[in-house]
Structure 1
Amino acid sequence: MDQITILWADDEIDLFKPQLMFLNKKGYEVITVTNGHDALEEIGENNNIDVVFLDESMPGLTGLETLSRIKDIKPGIPVVMITKNEAEDVMEEAIGSQITDYLIKPVNPMQILLTMKKIVDEKRLVSEKNNSDYQREFRQLLMQINSGLNKEEWVDVYKKIINWELKLDESQGDEMSEILAMQKREANAEFSKYIERNYLDWVDGKDAPVMSHNLMREKIFPHLSTERPTVMVLLDNMRYDQWKVIEPLLSELYRVEEEDYFYSILPTATQYSRNAIFAGMMPSEIARHYKDWWKNDTDEGGKNNHEADLLGTQIERILRRGDIKWDYTKVTRTNFARQMQDRALDFLNNDFSVIVYNFIDMLSHARTEMEVLKELAGDEKAYRSLTRSWFENSPLWATLRKLAERDVQLIVTTDHGTIRVNTPSRVVGDRDTSTNLRYKLGRNLNYEERDVLEVRDPQKAKLPRPNISSTFIFAKEDKFFLYPNNYNYYNNYYRDTFQHGGISLEEIVCPVIRLVSR
C-alpha cells in the first residue's frame, strides 16, 4: 500500500510531538500547519493528502470555517475534527458538515491509530473479516443444507445465505461471493426436492407452513385494530434480499415489531399467488366460488382485476365484523403513484388500507427486454441496489414518510419472489400451452422430468383444470423452459434474466414484516 499522508492543522501542534512520532513509526507521513489558511493552501497545492486532522478552536479561521472551505475544495477528503469543546451544537455542526470522525483532547496515539485504521483500512479489514467468517460458516451451512431440514429450518438457512450475500456485497468479497453463489445453488437443489416431497401434503393441510391462501387470516387480520390504522403494502415480486436493502430506510421512521415469512403457493406467479392472498382461497376454490372473477392462463383479459372484490369477501367471511373500514389501491403507473402520494393521509381514515405496488415486477420484466437495464442490474448485487435506489426516490416512500408522522401500523409483504435463471430446459407443448418460463400448463406436454415438479392432476394442488388432460409442470432451481424452435435465440435472450413461477427459495420464501411508526 502507498504511504498515507496526513495534514494536521492545530495552533498548538508542538504539543503533539509524541503522537507525530508514533504516526511516523507506523508508516504515515504527517504534514503540519498551525492555522486554517495554511491548511487550505496545502490542500489546494498538494494532491497527495489522504486525511486531514483539524483543530476545532484555532484562532483566525476556525476549525469549522476551515472544514467548510476544505469540503468546497475536496468534498471527498476525510476530515477528523479534534476539539476540547464537547458542546452538542459544535458536534452537530461538525457532523452536519460531513466530518469522518472526531476526537476529544487530549488524544492518545492509539486513538489516532484506530481512527486511521477506520478511515483507511476499514473496507479491507471488514472484507477480510467477512471472508474469514464465511469460510468458517461455509461447512456448517453445507451440513445444514444436506441434513433434511423442515420448513422453519429452510427459512433460517435462506436468511443466512442472504445475510452473507449482503455482507459480501459491502466488502467486495468477489471470490467468497462466487463460493456463496454455488452454495445457494446447492441449497435450491435440495429445497426443490423438499418441495417436491411435501407440497401436495401441505395443500391438504398436513403440517403446512403459512401459505398465500391463509396469509391474511394468519399473519394480517389478527393485528388489525380500530384503535390504530393499518396500512399493508404488497410489493409484487419482492424477495427477502430486496426487503433487507430497503429495511434501513424504513427503520429510520418505523420500528420493526416482527419479521416473519410465508410460503408462496405454486405457481409462484401473480395470477395465482396474489389472487390466493386476497381471496383467502386456493385458485381452484376461487374458480369454483367466483367463476366471473377467475381467468385461466389462456383466457383473454387481466388476471388480477378482482383483487378488491376478493379481499372484501374474505374480510366479511373471516372477520365477520361490520365495523372494519377498509380500502384497496393498486399502483401500476407513475401517475397513480403520484395520486396516492397526494392523498396519503386519507389512508388514516380507514382501519385497514391495502396498497399493491407493481414496480419490482415491472423492473424484472423491463430488465429482460432492455439492454441498458441488464447492465444497470447485471447481477444480484446490482439488482438489489437498483431496488433500493428506486424505493428511496419513489412516491411510495414519500407516502410512507407522510404516514410515519402519525400513529400507524405498517405491514410490508409480497406475493412471490423471483430467481435469476441460467439453465434452459426443453419442453414441447401445443399452441394452448401457457407462456410462463418457470411453469407450464397444457396438454400433451413433453419435458425433462428431472428438471420439473409435475402435477398431472391439478386438483391435487388445488389448481384449476381447464381441460381433462391439463398438466402443470414447475421448473426447479434456476431452470427456464424453452421450446425447440429458435432454441439458441431464446436461450441467449432469456438466460440471466429474473423470472418467477417455479420452485426456488427466492420465489417461495416470502417476507411479511410488521412495523409501527416511531
Structure 2
Amino acid sequence: MIYKGHIIWVDDEVHHLKPHIMFLESKGYKVSSVTNGIDADSLNKKNRYDLVLLDQNMPGLDGIETLKKIKSHRESIPVVMITKSEDEWLMDEAISQQIQQFLIKPVSPNQVYIACKQILEKNRIIQDKTSADYLQDFQKINQDIDFISSPDAWWNLYLKLVKWQIKFEEHADLSLQNILADQIKTCNQLFTRYIEENYEHLINDKTQSLFSPAIFEKYAKPILEKKNKVCIIIIDCMRCDQFLSIYSHLDSLFNMDISYHLSLLPSATPYSRNAIFSGLYPDELIKRYPKQRDLFSNSSQGLNKYENELLIDQLSRLKMEDKKVHYHKIWALEEGKRFSKKINNLLDKDVLALVVNFVDMLAHDSSKMEVLKEIIPDDIGYRHTVKSWVKNSWFNDVLKQLSESNFEVIITSDHGSVKVNREVMVSADKDASSGVRYKYGRNLNTRSKNVIKIDEPQKYRLPAFGPQFNYLIAKNDSYFLYPNDAHKYKNKLLDSFQHGGVSMEEMLVPVIKMKGFK
C-alpha cells in the first residue's frame, strides 16, 4: 500500500473513533492519536505530521488554544477541526487561524477520509489529471496542426498551449513541461510558415480586421457610439501568457471577454503601436504624416512621440472629433504613482488612452543587467515578475479605480516577445536600423533560412526609403548579429527576450474587454 501521510488526531474521546482511524489506515495513512492539547503540542514539536485533526471541547487546552500552539511551532501545517460545536464564533476563530476544513460531529469515516484526501492528495490528483489531459490534448494538437488554415484557428491553438503553460507551473513534472516546450516550438515553426505564406494576402485583405490598425475602430468605437466612456490601456510588449497569469486578478475586478489581434510585421512598437493609435498601416502613416517619414528614414529615436496626435486624428476620421480625450504614457514608477493619484480628475473624459512601458523595459533591460537575467531566466520567471508588478504597483490602484467608474476598459499590447537563442549573421551598411529581430535599410542580406527577407516592402504595407530598400524579419527564436562584432553581442543577447520577428508569442496578442461590476 502506498504511504499517503502521517495524521495526528487530537480528541479527548479518540477511543470512540477507532473505526474512523482504522478506515484511514486502510487507505494508506498513518494515524497517531492523543487525548489533549498539551500532548499534541509536545508531539508536534518532536515529529513532522502532515495533517492535524482537532476537536474543540477538551479538558485543559481547548481546540483553538491547541491550534494556536501548533501553528506557532509550524505555521504551514494543515488542520481540520472536527467538533460538536456549531457556534459561529468558533467557526470564525478557526477560519481566522487558517484551518483547512470545519466538520460538525457526528461524522462518518468516509467524511473524514474525503477531508484528508482533499488536503493531502489534492496536488497529486490534480497533477495526474493534468498530465493525462495534456497527453490526450497533445495527440489531438499534433493531429490537427497540419490543417490549421486561419488566424482564428492559430489563436485558439496558441491560447490552448498557453493555458497548459500556466497549469504546468504548479501541477506537472519537468518531463511534461519539456514536452510542452517542444510542442510549442514545433507549433511556432508551422505558424511562421503560415505567416510567411499568407501575411501578404491577409494584410491586403480589406475585409479583415485582424491587425493592429483595426483595434480602436473594432473595440473602442462601438462603446463610444453607445455614448459610453472607454479606457484603452496598451501594455507595451506584454504576451498572452502574461495576460493569462493576471486573468484571475482582473476577474476579481471586472467582467471580461478575451479576443485577439495580430501584430504587424515587424512586431515592434514603431509599427504596431503607431498603427493602434493612428488606425493606419505603416505605408499610410508616412504618407499622412511627413514628420513620421523623416523619423523612420533616419532610424531616429522618438518614433512613437506623436501618439496623442495620431489618436485625435483617428477619432476625427471616425466622426468622433467631439470626444474628450486624455492620452498618457507611463515610463517610470513615479509617473505611474502621479497618474494613479490624478485619475479621478480624468473621469469626465470620453476616452482615456494609457501606454505602460514596464513590461517592455523589463525585456530590454534583461539583456543588459545580470540581476534581471537571474530574476527572469525563462518564461515562468517573466510571468511571475509581471504578475507581481500588476498586483502590487500603482497599476493595480488604477485598475481598481477604473472598475468602480463608468469606463469600459480595453487592455491589449502592441506586440509580445520571444526568448532568442539562435544567432543569424546579416550584412548591412552603416545606416541600417539596429533591431535585434528586425532590420531595415539598403541591400540587407543573409544566407540564413531563419529570416523573412522583404525586398518589396509595399506588398507588406511597409514604407521604403529609396531604391534597394528592404527588410529582414527574424523567424522562430533567431536574432541578428553582424560578423565583425558577433562574439561581443552574442554573449549579451543570447537567452534574452526580444521582439520584432515572427512567432506566436510576438504576433498573437490578446485584447481583453472589461467592465466593472457596478
Q: TM-score range by the shorter chain?
A: over 0.9
Residue 255 of structure 1 aligns to a residue in which SS?
Answer: strand
Point out the more displaced range, 56-65 or 272-281.
56-65
Aligned-partner Cα distance in 2 for 1:238–1:162: 14
Distance verdict in 2 for CA 1:18–1:228, change over 3 Å: farther
Would the alpha carbon gap of residues 180 and 209 (structure 1) be closer, same or farther in structure 2, given more than 3 Å must change?
farther
Quote the offset at 1:102 in angstroms. Answer: 2.8
Partner of residue 415, structure 2: 416
**Does residue 177 of the first structure (1) align with residue 199 of the second (2)?**
no
Q: What is the aligned residue count?
A: 515
Match of 1:431 in 2: 430
1:39 paired with 2:49, answer no
Q: Give the SS at the match of 2:265.
A: coil
Which residue number corresponds to residue 205 of structure 1?
205
User: AA paired with 1:460?
Assistant: K
Moved more, 417-426 or 83-92: 83-92
Distance 1:199 1:260 in 2: 20
- After the TM superposition, which of the residue ranges 413-422 and 146-155 deviates more from structure 2? 146-155
AA at the equivalent of 1:11: D
Is this contact kept in 2: 1:226–1:351, CA < 8 A? no
Alpha-carbon distance in structure 2 between the residues aligned to 1:443 and 1:92? 72
Query: What's the offset of the Cα at 1:113?
Result: 2.4
What is the DSSP-based 3-state SS (H/G/I as helix, E as strand, rest coil) of the residue aligned with 1:224? helix
Question: Are 1:29 and 2:30 counterparts?
Answer: yes
- Give the deviation of 1:508 after TM superposition: 0.5
Cα deviation code 1:170-191 (max 9, x no counterpart): 1142111111111111111111
1:208-247 residue pairs with structure 2 within 5 A? 208-224=208-224, 228-247=228-247
Equivalent residue for 1:516? Answer: 515
Distance in 2, Cα, partners of 1:339 & 1:136? 50
Q: 2: distance between equivalents of 1:78 and 1:196?
A: 54
Q: In 1, distance between residues paired with 2:458 and 2:368?
A: 35
Pick which of 116-125 and 474-483 moved more: 116-125
Indicate if the aligned counterparts of 2:279 and 2:314 stay in contact, CA closer than 8 A. yes
Deviations 1:181-238, CA, capped at 9 Å, x for gaps: 1111111111111111111122222553521011111122212367654222211111
CA deviation vs aligned residue, 1:257-304 (integer Å, no higher than 9, x gap) = x21101011110011100000000011211111112452164333111
Q: Does 1:67 align with 2:64?
A: no
Question: Can you give the 5+ residue segments of structure 1 that lack an aligned partner in the other structure?
Answer: none
Q: Counterpart in 1 of 2:447?
A: 448
- Which stretch of structure 1 is more off in the superposition, 499-508 or 190-199? 190-199
CA distance in 2, matches of 1:350, 1:86: 53
Task: Give the partner amino acid of 1:49.
Answer: Y
Residues 207 and 230 (structure 1 numbering): CA distance in 2 closer, same or farther, change over 3 Å? closer
Q: CA deviation at 1:319?
A: 3.8
- The residue number in structure 2 matching 1:156 is 156
Identity of aligned residues (%): 38
State the Cα distance separating 1:489 from its structure 2 match.
Answer: 3.5
What code does the residue aligned with 2:386 have?
T
Q: How far is the alpha carbon of 1:400 from its aligned partner? A: 1.2
Name 1:360's counterpart in structure 2. 359
Greater CA deviation, 336-345 or 103-112? 103-112
Q: Which segment drifts farther, 2-11 or 433-442?
A: 2-11
Provide closer, same or farther for how the CA distance between residues 105 and 321 of structure 1 changes in structure 2, counting only shifts above 3 A: farther
Mapped partners of 2:251, 2:84: distance in 1: 34
Secondary structure in 1 matching 2:9: strand
Deviations 1:320-377 (A, max 9, x none): 351x222111100111011012123223222221111100001111111111221221
- Relative to structure 1, the CA distance from residue 444 to residue 331 in structure 2 (aligned partners, 3 Å threshold; closer, same or farther) is same
Query: Would you say the 8 A contact 1:225–1:351 is kept in 2?
Result: no
State the 1:310 CA deviation: 0.5
Q: CA deviation at 1:82?
A: 1.9
- Distance of aligned partners of 1:196 and 1:207 in 2 relative to their CA distance in 1, 3 Å threshold: farther
Give 2:350's aligned residue.
351
In 2: Cα distance, 1:87 partner to 1:474 partner: 68
Find the aligned partners of 1:86 and 1:411 in 2 and give their Cα distance: 47
Task: Provide the rounded CA distance (Å) in 1 between the counterparts of 2:313 and 2:85.
Answer: 64
Tell which deviates more after alignment, 83-92 or 373-382: 83-92
Contact 2:148 2:154 in 1 (8 A): no
Deviation (angstroms), 1:121: 2.4
Contact 2:216-2:279 within 8 A present in 1 as well: yes
Evaluate the alpha carbon distance shift between residue 407 and residue 6 of structure 1 in structure 2; reply closer, same or farther with a 3 A threshold.
Answer: farther
Superposition RMSD in Å: 2.1
CA distances 1:152-186 after superposition (whole Å, capped 9, x unpaired): 11111101111111111111421111111111111
Whether the 8 Å contact between 1:230 and 1:353 is mirrored in structure 2 is: yes
Asked if structure 2 preserves the Cα contact closer than 8 Å seen for 1:201 and 1:208, the reply is no
> Aligned to 1:260, what secondary structure does the other structure show?
strand
Equivalence map 1:2-401=2 (5 Å): 4-43=5-44, 45-58=45-58, 61-86=61-86, 90-205=90-205, 208-224=208-224, 228-256=228-256, 258-294=257-293, 295-296=295-296, 298-322=298-322, 324-401=323-400
Residues 279, 313 of structure 1: 8 Å contact kept: yes
Q: Which runs of 5 or more residues in structure 2 are unaligned?
A: none
Q: Decide whether aligned partners of structure 1 residues 81 and 417 sit closer, same or farther in structure 2, where only a CA change above 3 A counts.
A: same
Q: Distance in 2 between matches of 1:325 and 1:36?
A: 67
CA distance in 2, matches of 1:15, 1:126: 34
2:301 and 2:114 map into 1 onto residues whose CA distance is 63
Contact (CA 8 Å) 1:345, 1:403: kept in 2 or not?
A: no
Amino acid at match of 2:118: K
Residue matched to 2:403: 404
